[in-house]
Chains A and B, each alone.
Chain A
């Protein structure tokens, strides 16, 4: 049984983009919060805290996102925590993103010249104030392109959530293809939709970079 690609199929695909966006937003917001914490821990003068964050980053960066998804989704259910696919995917993506964002942001903060810290602290600002008022505003300019670049990665990686049955863009494509078997058309469309989501972000990153560049032209 294979029919043609209909308007209903197209509508189904377009609607599933919404869930790809939800999952991406979830990953990015939660991963951003987690990543900020990881960054703070990583630059902490407390050795044990910085070490813990480093181990976390290295461990997560060495594990495929797919395996993290399996651990959260199937692993938790063994212990009786049957989490919905959306929650499991969101958690796995948060853990994954916070390690990468934490590492990206640590690099940007550490790239700020040491005399900026000294100048701030010699004005009696606390370490936290120096970070918040002097270092981070400058580091943001540096952090923006890799952060948005990572966001683009995250959008594409949400497709992995299809394997635990979460119906986002990729899973929707699979479902349609299973019924009409036109893989080139269906997955070509799915790919085009991902491109449409990701390409503007890359362009936006470039324009933001120019705008934020006021202090350092």
Chain B
């Protein structure tokens, strides 16, 4: 097994606020890792640094052999390896579901229209929304929009997918349908790193869980760590959070 994502002693500061204070972890091929932690613990920032939506101050990040901390990193190459799904879906409101998915296939991968449409239908079936291909994002529920966002990312066949609190804006029922899609992806062997507040989901599906606290990796373990936290901070987080 090889590491798809490697973070080594990463520091990141926003103004006077030191958000990441030496974060290190690795994501192996085919692994699903859930990052948990309180608001402000730096978990979303860490995720965004991996796709270089934020630049880091110090340390190393490597994705599929690409040095992300290199100032001259080829962003185009990096982002063909990495898919990212956001809390706020960020679908393109002026395009239909199918066009949302086809856009990057057509303009980045230079697929023909038919090819792109074929891929779009395939990923839409995968998330159970093939019948919504011609709908506009605003006509869909939050859960459906998020599944389209996952399909859009999936269509580019990334080597690793990042999920940034993708169910935080959804009610419990819609959360369920999105989590099921993610569980299927994990079962298919997709390498996934997700920042989440869904403890039960993390415990059941994730291969490893990373608990972040005050900008550091505080505790790492499998699902059982949520039943028997070693640190008082994780215990307190779990008691307050649930």
Distance A126 CA – B137 CA, assembled complex (angstroms): 23
Given contacts A116-B90, A215-B138, contact A122 B103 (CB under 8 A): no
User: Does A119 contact B92, Cβ atoms closer than 8 Å?
Assistant: yes
Contact B86 A133 (CB under 8 A): no
Partner of A123, one of B53, B94, B136, B152: B152
In the assembled complex, the Cα of A71 lies from the Cα of B167 at a distance in Å of: 61
Rounded to whole angstroms, the CA-CA distance of A37 and B67 in the bound complex is: 35
The residues of B that contact A116 with a CB separation of less than 8 Å are 90, 92
Interface centre among B76, B94, B137 (most CB of A within 10 A): B94
Q: A-B pairs with CB below 8 Å: how many?
A: 60
In the complex, A22 has a CB within 8 A of chain B:
no
Q: Which residue of B lies closest to A138 (CB)?
A: B94
Whole-angstrom distance between the alpha carbons of A87 and B189 in the complex? 67
- Please report the C-alpha to C-alpha distance between residue A123 and residue B104 in the assembled complex, in whole angstroms: 6
Give the contacts of B37-76 with A (CB-CB under 8 A). 51, 53, 75-76
> What chain A residues lie within 8 Å of B51 (beta carbons)?
122
Flag if A216 contacts B93 (CB, 8 Å). Answer: yes
Segment 119-138 of A: residues with Cβ below 8 Å from B = 119-126, 129, 133-134, 137-138
A118 contacts B by Cβ under 8 Å:
yes
Alpha-carbon gap, A121 to B107, bound state (A): 12
In A82-125, which residues have CB < 8 Å from any B CB? 115-116, 118-125
Measured CA separation A96–B47 after assembly (Å): 46
B84 within 8 A of A: yes
B-chain residues with CB within 8 Å of residue A122 when the two chains form the complex: 51, 53, 79, 82-84
- Interface residue total, chain B, C-beta cutoff 8 A: 27
Query: Does A217 lie at the interface of the complex (its beta carbon under 8 Å from any beta carbon of B)?
Result: yes
B residues lining the A interface (CB < 8 Å): 51, 53, 75-76, 79-80, 82-84, 86, 88, 90-95, 103-104, 107-108, 136-138, 152-153, 156
16 contacts between A and B (CB under 8 A): A116-B90, A116-B92, A118-B90, A119-B86, A119-B91, A121-B79, A122-B82, A122-B84, A123-B79, A123-B153, A124-B156, A125-B104, A129-B108, A214-B94, A215-B94, A217-B138
Please name 17 further chain A to chain B contacts, defined as beta carbons within 8 Å, in addition to the given A123-B79, A134-B103, A138-B93, sorted by A numbering.
Answer: A115-B86, A118-B86, A118-B90, A119-B86, A121-B75, A122-B51, A122-B82, A122-B84, A124-B104, A124-B156, A125-B107, A125-B108, A126-B76, A129-B108, A214-B136, A215-B93, A216-B138
